[in-house]
Structure 1
Amino acid sequence: MVKPVRSVHWLTPGDAFPPLNDAWGPNDPAPGLIAAGGSLDTPTLLDAYSRGIFPWFSDGQPTLWWSPDPRMVLQTAQFRLHRSLKQVLKRFRDDADCEVRFDSAFVQVIQACAAQAREGQSGTWIVPEMQEAYVALHRAGHAHSVETWVRGELVGGLYGVNLGRMVFGESMFSRQTDASKIALAALVAFCRAQGVAMIDCQQNTRHLASLGAGEIPRREFAAHLGATVRETAPVWRFEPVYWNQLF
């Protein structure tokens, strides 16, 4: 007997998200899928992230909302600083031509992430609608970029979302060896200095696991959100002294 496919919640703009337990499970066609449709406006995105839900879809698809179980996260205290990366960071820190900047080139960062995602693929999930939505979220003060600059050139970086004392990573790009890793290390140093204990990584990847990220149950992730997203958000500015959090 063929098992019927579960329906997915269809949202119209302004609709509330369903409970996390309504997300598709491991035996469904798209584990973690919780809803489709709705809006990508700033209030909806803020509500989604505060509940542990994020958008992820490709060209030609409706807006799809996800809340996977388990959830991939990087506990900032467990960031794995390999010896080779530690050496790279020390050289970067000590070079007057190198610097980390926050939020000086958000649009360029998200565009670079979208362009890099297309290489060798038929498309990217950072579609124009997503770029517009996160630029608006940035202008509202909730989305941020971490940028690696060398001799005045943007060579790598990442962007993500911040609610209270919780950071949600979205995407990284690199135009130079280790440039995105430098940005991630800078984000971890900043988070440690500001009392941010967890960075959401959304999906399990080998690269993130090699840097210390791991999976936790969705209920544990949701409980952490409940305790942190309404706290006072840090001021997004990188200070060189933050490197001391890693060395």
Structure 2
Amino acid sequence: MNKAQELKISSVIGLLSKSSPSGMSTSGRSASGSSLRALLRRYFPVHNIILDMANQNFRPIVISGPSGTGKSTLLKKLFAEFPDNFGFSVSNTTRQPRAGEVNGKDYNFITVDEFKKLIDEKAFIEWAQFSGNYYGTTVKSVGEVAKAGKTCILDIDMQGVKLVKETDLNARYLFLAPPSVETLRQRLEGRGTETQESVEKRIAAATAEIEYSKTGAHDRIIVNDDLDKAYSELKEFIFEQK
């Protein structure tokens, strides 16, 4: 946790110490440290995750990049090699599962009504809509990884990155880029699961993401033109002392 985040939590603690909402002590004494931590966990779910990360001294890693750049393949290799070190924050989505995808492992596949209910409950750290489908990362999914003592990996899009940057998660950001937009187009068309309209939408989104990556929003950019090389660079970034 950096100094700015420590100061922010300290100011929240100060406000809580001076207030007395329903169910809190109204005595003249300040609440104990443990009580204040409990209050933070109750009223500020994102701070709940921050407290767990501070206790265990690790930071989540946000991996983003256009669809078709190999994020899923690289993450599967990482989790297979280091099963005890990392945990995947499973996103919720309203889209239909692709062949081979497992509910609860690749995504939590839910209905639009269920997704909107979670939005109303402020359950998401970030969420976005793309091609008529909703995608989102819940506070709960990140917290479960933190509680297990593992570094949380989040695979999210550009909009999600922007939203996470507005929170206090103190994440590290990696962008996985294709060698070129044309190579990306070939990969998407080679899947055999995308309509031409879908491919064009993904190419447009990819172009925007690549431009965003040039703003310095990420800590590292890896070009996946060779899977083994990209995986080596991914591990180098992840295991850097930060």
Q: TM-score, normalised by structure 2?
A: 0.29
Of the two structures, which has the highest relative contact order with CA contacts closer than 8 Å and spacing of 6 or more?
2
Higher CA-based Rg: 2
Richer in helix (by share):
2
Richer in strand (by share):
1
